[in-house]
Amino acid sequence: MTADPVTASSAAPGAEYADTASAAYQAALQVIESVEPRIAAATRKELADQRDSLKLIASENYASPAVLLTMGTWLSDKYAEGTIGHRFYAGCQNVDVVESVAAEHARELFGAPYAYAQPHSGIDANLVAFWAILATRVEAPGLAELGAKHVNDLSEADWESLRNKLGNQRLLGMSLDAGGHLTHGFRPNISGKMFHQRSYGTDPETGLLDYDKLAAAAREFKPLILVGGYSAYPRRVNFAKLREIADEVGATLMVDMAHFAGLVAGKVFTGDENPVPFAHVTTTTTHKSLRGPRGGLVLAQPEYSDAVDKGCPMVLGGPLSHVMAAKAVALAEARQPSFQAYAQRVADNAKSLAEGFLKRGARLVTGGTDNHIVLLDVTSFGLTGRQAESALLDAGVVTNRNSIPADPNGAWYTSGIRFGTPALTTRGFGAAEFDRVAELVVDVLNNTQPTQASSGPSKAKYTLADGTAERIHAASAEMLAANPLYPGLTL
C-alpha cells in the first residue's frame, strides 16, 4: 500500500522525500523573503497555526507536498485560453500535456466519459455546467439589448427579461438551510438570478430528503435543471432516484459533488450513491475530501461535452495551468489504493464523531451521519452558530457556523456548527481521537455563555469560562503531537 503523502512519518520508508520537500520549501521561502518578508512570515505562521489547531472545517484538507509544490512553477506564466490543441495563444504544447493528463486521471478515477479540468473553483465549475446545459438545451433569441450592460448593472427586471428570452430557465435545487449550496439557486448568487428558481428541502421531523415530495415538486415546477448534491447535508443521496425524477419531467440532472468527491473517488459511495453514472453533468472541487489544490472539475456525458469544452471563453478566462498540473498530481494520488483506505476512514471517523456527540447529549441534524459531515444544532447549548464558532476558535478548534433546517437565526448568525472529518483523518486521527474531539467540543460549548440580548450584533457575543481555552488547547496538543502535520518538514 502506498504511504500517505501527508502523514508518512520521517522514520517511514521514503523519509528522504520529507527531507527533499523540507529543503524545497526552505529555499522557496528564502527567495520569497528576499522580496517581501511579510509574505514569507505569514506563510510560515500559517503552517504553524494549522499544525497547532484541530481543523474540522468540512471543506478543508491538507494537500501533499507534491501537490503544493506543483503550483509554484513557471506554468503559472503561460496564457492558454481555448482547449487542448486549439488555443488562442501560441506555445501551449506543454499546457496541452498538463491539461490532457489532468483530464485523463479525472476520467479514469471517476469513470466519466468526459472531464474538463479548467474551472478555477467549484462556483466556476457550476457556472460552466449551467451555461453548457443552457447552450445544449435552449435555443435563445438575440440578447443584444442586454449585452451592453455589465452584469453588475442588470436590474431584477433585466434578469427577468433575460430569463424569459432564454425560455425554460427553471432550476430546482436544495435549499441553503437544508444543506444545499449558494450556487444551487440562492437568490443573491448568480445562479438565483440566472434561473427561475425553486428549492426543495428536507423532512421537518427527520431532516432527511423526502424523494416523493421532491418528485412532486419537480412535476409541478418542471425545471430545466434538477440540481443534486450538498454542502451541509450529513447523509448519502440516492442519485438513481434523482435521475428517475429528472427523466420523468424532462430535466437535466446536474450533481455538485464538491464535498463528497473524495468518497466517490475512494469507492465509499458506489452504486446508486455514486452520482457520475446517473448525472448528465457532474461538478466538483478538487480540494475538500479529494485532497488536491483549490480548483474545480466538470464531468459530463458525451452530449454535453462540446458545450462544456467551451467553458473558456464562455465564462472562464485563461486557465491556471499550474493549478491544472497540481490537479493532475492530486488525481494521480487519489488513484492509489491508499486513497481508498483514507476515504473509508473519513466516513468511519464521521460516525465516531457523531456518536461522541450523541452520547454526550448533543443534538445532531438528522440524528447522525453516513458521509463526512456532522451538523451540530447548538441551540440546545443556548448559543448561536456565530457564538459557538468563535468560542471554539478561542480554544483552538477550527469549525464553521452553518444554517440548519428552518434556522431561526438566518444564514449569518445561524444555529449550527458544521464539522468535517477529512483534514484530521489525513493527519491520522481515528475513532478514539474523534470521540475525544467530541468531548472537547462539548466541553467548550458547555462553558460558553451568550450575552443577555437575543437579537442584533449581540447574537455574536459570548463569554468563555476562565481556563476553558487553555484546558482544551492542552488536551488537543497531545493528539496533534501524536499525529503531526507534514512530519519532517522544517522551515
Catalytic residues: 79, 81, 256, 285, 288, 294
Question: Scanning the structure block, which residue is given the C-alpha cell 448568487?
Answer: 189
> Residue 3: how many CB atoms within 10 A of its CB?
14
Hey, what amino acid is at 378? V
Residue corresponding to grid cell 451521519: 369
Separation CA 6–CA 54 (nearest Å): 16
Listed residue (98, 101, 99, 79) closest to 90, CA to CA: 79
Beta-bridged to residue 200, according to DSSP, are 174
Q: Label residue 361 left, alpha or beta by phi (over 0 means left) and psi (-120 to 50 means alpha).
A: left
The alpha carbon dihedral of 369, 375, 376, 377 has a sign of: negative
Query: How far apart (Å, rounded) are the C-alpha atoms in residues 130 and 123?
Result: 10
Rg, C-alpha atoms of the chain: 23
Q: How far apart are CA 255 and CA 239, in angstroms?
A: 9
Strands 397-398 and 54-55, bridge-based pairing = parallel
- Strand partners for 225: 171, 252
All residues at 6 or more sequence positions from 176 whose CB lies less than 8 Å from its CB, including other chains: 182, 184, 186, 199, 403, 411
Q: How far apart are CA 151 and CA 165, in angstroms?
A: 16
Q: Which positions ≥6 away from 9 have C-beta within 8 Å? A: 15, 484, 487, 488
CA 85, CA 353: separation in Å to the nearest integer?
Answer: 48
For β-strands 252-256 and 296-300, DSSP reports them as unpaired
What are 431's three cell numbers?
475513532
- CA 292 to centroid of chain Cα atoms: 11
Is residue 373 classed exposed, middle or buried when 0-12, 13-18 and 19+ CB atoms within 10 A define those classes? Answer: buried
DSSP string, 280-348: SEEEEESSGGG-S-S-EEEEE-HHHHHHHTTHHHHT--S--HHHHHHHHHHHHHHTSHHHHHHHHHHHH
Which three-class secondary structure state does DSSP give residue 86?
strand
